[in-house]
Structure 1
Amino acid sequence: MGPDSSQDAQTVSQVGEFGLIDRVTTGREQPAGTLLGPGDDAAVLAAPDGRVVATTDVLVEQVHFRFDWSAPRQVGRKAVAVNLSDIAAMGAVPTGLLVGLACPPDSSTELVDELFGGMWEEAQAVGAGVVGGDVVSATALTISITALGDLQGREPVTRAGARPGDVVAVAGRLGWSAAGLAVLGRGFRSPVAVVGAHRVPEPPYAAGPLAAAGGATAMVDVSDGLLADLGHVAAASGVGIDVRTEQLDVPQRLLEVGSALGADARHWVLTGGEDQALAATFPAEAALPEGWRAIGAVTAGGGVVVDGAEYEGPSGWQHWR
């Protein structure tokens, strides 16, 4: 959907609520599982499994993203990715998205076009679609997305099934987004690889269903930081988790960026959020599925330690802290 230059110069207040909805939905191809898409009071999606996995995230300008650091299309992709990674963390596959957008009346239609363009790109990459939502006026641009998923006959993998003796493993990148945030915070725009990782995460979507099929006992997406999110697994399962640094991959590029900024790259890997990696526990006798690598073990007791000792400093992001 390519708006012309005259449309690009308009604001959302000029095109109105329904004109804006038409812009971001018309001409988009829905996946086969969307039985009734945008345009009615509600959408209708097929649910072959008979169960629906659902999750919601809210992203607020200047809290979760900045348009001087990220292009609107990148923000759109990120907004979808943080939701779809939660679907993958349950062992499910995405089916559809409901998008709520609140924005100031003087927001340009070009900005909204690009936001939704990024959302559609990320959704269609995993076979999902934007099936409905709402747009309203507000003083700060806010994106609220509800993602839906299908378990394909598998049981959901929750945070509560880890057992002492299980292997702790991760899939996806760790620390890259935190490194990119540190670079941007210092006023730089490179290295492109780490800055790009902060702007648009690359969740290992397929690794979630693979883990479920491979016997994962618990799983979580790494949105707030590895130690913080493993802490949720430990608490829900009533176990301890020991992360072993000799098993952690600290990429050379992160070491280089850390050296340049006077920062500890290992800290980014342990506590950095927004890479939307997946962390899971597996029975010790099970072979790890493709894309998964061991980083520690589940123990009796409680809490998360690093090499057997409590980690000093914040373990990840917390709102209102």
Structure 2
Amino acid sequence: MGDTAAEYGEFRLIDRISRSLSTNRRVVLGPGDDAAVLATRDRQVVACTDMLIEGRHFRCDWSSGDDVGHRAAAANMADIAAMGGRPTGLLTAVSVPADTDVDWLVALAEGLSSEAEVTGAAVIGGDTTRGEQLTIAVTALGDMEGCRPVRRSGAQPGDVLAYVGRLGWAAAGLTVLARGFRSPGALVGAYRRPQPPYASGPIAATMGATAMIDVSDGLLADVGHIAEESAVAIDVDGDRLDVPESMYRAGEALGVDPRQWVLSGGDDHALVATFPPDVILPADWIPCGRVAEGHGVTVDGQSPTGATGWDHFGPN
């Protein structure tokens, strides 16, 4: 018997599988980034897919069907935004146990549709099947609108690292729920329904972003993807990361350093990008680090301690 998925780890497993896939002339960008890009006769289509499994990615006693629909749509449309594209359509497939409440499934569809409308996209189809575990798979399509996709591999020494959106809120909300509480409501709400800065992705692309990614696995983990793909070192300035008062209070009550939520917590789907040093950052983007020659990610010049983010096949 060969190595198992757990022994490989999530990202090594993805790399191994990706190397076995074929391609064709219409594939502008294949596996390995936030989304794929396909060339059509007159434009480029950007596409990505994601899956949520009950008990692994969500719990029905923590989130309504409407909440899960919002989360599923947001996770995919943030990937489109991270390429610099605009979401246009969602395809959704669900595998459901036979005793699943139909009202819950209707609420799921309403949440998907409502979140899609935030970006001007629409749910355009999908599939349903019976299964032992509630599973939701979403494929998002988007339009690059004439822009080149912003990849993870374009960061250059001297670039400025910046982010837009919320960091650590969803992770804090998840910790609150896991400890059996339901407040602070703002943090729990952020876990149930993230608010990705969708419009900021295309704006960053037009302003000259050299690399970009959405923060789904944790800031350090996702900045690490940029560093690895770009073959550079990135130092994060911890003092520039926003930690709201509600997060400080929750951290004190739960015995958690709130900076750990900000540095390693995912699911807020903020965007983080690198920009040339002479570029005026788009509105709302906060500079939070520098790109240099070398490899790896540091925080205030030091190697990070503790968890750096989520790995589906790691110990977490």
Q: TM-score normalized by structure 2?
A: 0.86
Instruction: Name the residue aligned to 2:309.
Output: 316
- Determine whether 1:211 maps to 2:204: yes
Does structure 1 retain, via aligned residues, the 8 Å contact 2:150–2:209? yes
- Code of the aligned partner of 2:303: E
Q: Residue 72 and residue 264 in structure 1: after superposition, are their counterparts in 2 closer, same or farther (change >3 A)? A: same
Does structure 2 retain, via aligned residues, the 8 Å contact 1:97–1:147? yes
- Determine whether 1:97 maps to 2:126: no
How far has the Cα of 1:260 moved from its partner?
1.0
How far has the Cα of 1:320 moved from its partner?
1.8
Instruction: Name the residue aligned to 1:149.
Output: 142
- Determine whether 1:279 maps to 2:275: no
Greater than 3 Å deviation, 4+ residue runs: none
Instruction: Name the residue aligned to 2:243.
Output: 250
Please give the alpha-carbon distance, in whole angstroms, between the structure 1 residues aligned to 2:135 and 2:300.
Answer: 40
Q: Secondary structure at the match of 2:153?
A: coil
Instruction: Name the residue aligned to 2:130.
Output: 137
Instruction: Name the residue aligned to 1:264.
Output: 257
How far has the Cα of 1:308 moved from its partner?
0.7
Q: CA offsets, 1:138-160, max 9 Å, x none?
A: 00000000000001111100000
Please give the alpha-carbon distance, in whole angstroms, between the structure 1 residues aligned to 2:313 and 2:148.
Answer: 34
User: 2:287 aligned to 279, 282, 294, which one?
Assistant: 294
Percentage of pairs with the same residue = 55
User: 1:198 aligned to 191, 198, 202, which one?
Assistant: 191
Aligned CA-pair RMSD: 1.0
Q: Residue 234 and residue 49 in structure 1: after superposition, are their counterparts in 2 closer, same or farther (change >3 A)? A: farther
Instruction: Name the residue aligned to 1:42.
Output: none
Does structure 2 retain, via aligned residues, the 8 Å contact 1:157–1:219? yes
The runs of 5 or more residues in structure 2 that have no matched partner are: 1-39
Q: Residue 49 and residue 304 in structure 1: after superposition, are their counterparts in 2 closer, same or farther (change >3 A)? A: farther
Please give the alpha-carbon distance, in whole angstroms, between the structure 2 residues aligned to 1:159 and 1:270.
Answer: 19
Q: CA offsets, 1:263-308, max 9 Å, x none?
A: 1001100000000000000011100001211000001100000011
Q: Secondary structure at the match of 2:290?
A: strand
Please give the alpha-carbon distance, in whole angstroms, between the structure 2 residues aligned to 1:125 and 1:171.
Answer: 17
User: 2:100 aligned to 101, 104, 107, which one?
Assistant: 107
Q: CA offsets, 1:211-252, max 9 Å, x none?
A: 001100000000000000000000000000000112111111
- Code of the aligned partner of 2:309: G
Please give the alpha-carbon distance, in whole angstroms, between the structure 2 residues aligned to 1:255 and 1:61.
Answer: 30
User: 1:305 aligned to 281, 292, 298, which one?
Assistant: 298
Q: How many residues align?
A: 275
How far has the Cα of 1:71 moved from its partner?
0.8
- Determine whether 1:121 maps to 2:114: yes
Q: Residue 49 and residue 285 in structure 1: after superposition, are their counterparts in 2 closer, same or farther (change >3 A)? A: farther
Matched ranges for 1:12-161 at <5 A? 50-161=43-154
Q: TM-score normalized by structure 1?
A: 0.84
Instruction: Name the residue aligned to 1:238.
Output: 231
Instruction: Name the residue aligned to 1:9.
Output: none
Instruction: Name the residue aligned to 2:33.
Output: none
